[in-house]
Structure 1
Amino acid sequence: MNSTFKWNPEKTLWEKVIHLASERGQSPESIISEAVRLYVDTQLVEPVNNVVSDPLIGLFSTTPDLAINSEDILQDEIREKSGWTWKEHHQ
C-alpha cells in the first residue's frame, strides 16, 4: 500500500534525516517510517485514559480533583473525635 502526504519539516530536522539515511545507506522515507513506527508502538503501550494521570493519585483512594474538593471532603469526614485531642491521663 502506498500513501503520500505533504510534510514540511524544519530545515534542521530534514538535514538530520538526510544525514542519518546517508550514514545507514537507507532512504529518507525508510528512516521516517522507522521513526513513526517506533513512536506509534510506544504510544500504543500506554493505556487509553481520558483522565489526567498523576502518579501520586494512585497512593490515595480519591479523585484527581482532590485539591479542588479538599474542603468538602474534610467537612464530610469530620467526626466527634476528629482532629487533635488530649490523651486521657492514666496513673
Structure 2
Amino acid sequence: MDSTFNWKPEQTLLKKVINLATERGQSPESIISEAVKLYLETQLLETVDYAVSDPLIGLFAATPDLAINSEDILQQEITKKSGWTWK
C-alpha cells in the first residue's frame, strides 16, 4: 500500500536529510522512513519504561517477607550520617 502526504520541512532539516542520503547512497525518502521508524520504536520503549519505573510497582513486587526483614534491611542501610545528631 503506497501512501503519500504533503510535508514541508524546514530548509535546514531538508538539507541535512539530503546530505545524509547522499553520503549513504540512499534516497531522502528512505532516510526519513528510517528516522520515523526509529522514533516510533523509541516512543514505544519509553512508554514501556515509564510503566516499569512507576514507584507504586515496588509495593506489589517486593519479596513476601519484606515486613519480617524490614529491620534487617534498615540496619544494612545505616551510614555514619544516618539518624539524628546533637548540636
Letter in 2 for 1:32: I
Letter in 2 for 1:58: P
Q: Deviations over 1:47-83 (max 9, x none)?
A: 37xxxxxx7x839x8xxxxxxxxxxxxxxxxxxxxxx
How many residue pairs end up in the alignment? 55
Quick one: distance in 2 between partners of 1:47 and 1:40?
11
Quick one: distance in 1 between partners of 2:35 and 2:29?
10
| Percentage identity across paired residues of the two chains | 68
Q: Deviations over 1:17-50 (max 9, x none)?
A: 00000000000000000000000001111237xx
Matched, 1:22 2:22: yes
Structure 2 length normalisation: TM-score?
A: 0.54
Q: Could you say which structure has the higher helix fraction? A: 2
- Name the larger-Rg structure: 1
Quick one: distance in 2 between partners of 1:28 and 1:12?
14
Unaligned runs of 5+ in 2: 60-87
Deviation at 1:11, TM superposition (A): 0.2
Deviation at 1:4, TM superposition (A): 0.3
Structure 1 length normalisation: TM-score?
A: 0.52
| Coordinate RMSD, CA, aligned | 2.4
Which segments of structure 1 move beyond 3 Å, counting only runs of 4 or more?
Answer: none
